[in-house]
Amino acid sequence: MDQLQSYQPPEVLPNGDIIIRRQAPAAPDPKPEEPAKPETGPRSL
Mean pLDDT by 10 residues, the chain (45 residues): 77 95 74 69 69
What pLDDT is attached to residue 28? 65
Could you give the CA distance from residue 11 to residue 1 in angstroms, rounded to a whole number? 17
What pLDDT is attached to residue 36? 67
User: Half-sphere exposure (CA, 13 Å, Cβ side) for 5?
Assistant: 2
What pLDDT is attached to residue 19? 94
- The one-letter amino acid at 1: M
Beta strand residue intervals within 1-45, DSSP E: 11-12, 18-19
Could you give the CA distance from residue 40 to residue 36 in angstroms, rounded to a whole number? 12
Is-contact 7 22, C-beta < 8 A?
A: yes
